[in-house]
Amino acid sequence: MSENKVQDVTILTTGGTIEKTYDEYDGVLDNKESIIKKMLLSRLRLPYTRLNIFPILCKDSLKMTEEDRELLALMIRRRMESKNPIVVLHGTDSMAVSADYCLNKIKNIEVPLIFTGAMKPLGFLDSDASQNVTEALLAAKILKPGVYISFHNRVFSVPGVRKNKSTGTFESY
């Protein structure tokens, strides 16, 4: 493989804090539409990466249902057929639950499947979204097939990962 070859990476978006936006008319921070392409990916320099973005859901992960996770698993199975690594942008509150669900529901995971999100929305100046997405993209390109959570400069193999609300990050258990 050429070191300068462009590699495709699939991004599936589900909403979560990473994609929340502030509505100045309602005074509400909410998931309304996928903003990743417009607000983040247009700023990153990825000359050797071609991103294929597919919005699936646009909701807070605390509101995700069994049906939502089944839809996510179905979309991952479909996108895995391309043999490209997959990054799932997900709300942090139930990201580990969805990652475990996909690990158990999807047989023969043939690509790296990386879940990531953010503790603060992308539009905030002190957001961790840009860092987490960038790290997840790199992880997707170098890890072997399997399910992972990439967050705050760490990569965790699933299962055995949880959100630690007191530290504001993820940890192994």
Structure tokens that stand for 18 in this block: 């990473």
| Domain harbouring 162, CATH code | 3.40.50.1170
Angle at which helices 66-80 and 95-105 cross, to 10°: 60
* Inside any domain, residue 86: no
Write the pLDDT tens digit of every residue in 67-106: 999 999 999 999 999 999 999 999 999 999 999 999 999 9
CA distance 144 to 34: 28
In a domain, 137, yes or no: yes
Q: Examine the pLDDT at 23 and tell me if it is beyond 70.
A: no
Q: Is residue 48 part of a domain?
A: yes
Q: What residue numbers bound the domain in which 73 lies?
A: 7-24+35-81+91-172
Percent of the chain with pLDDT over 90: 67
Cα–Cα distance between 13 and 28 in angstroms, integer? 21
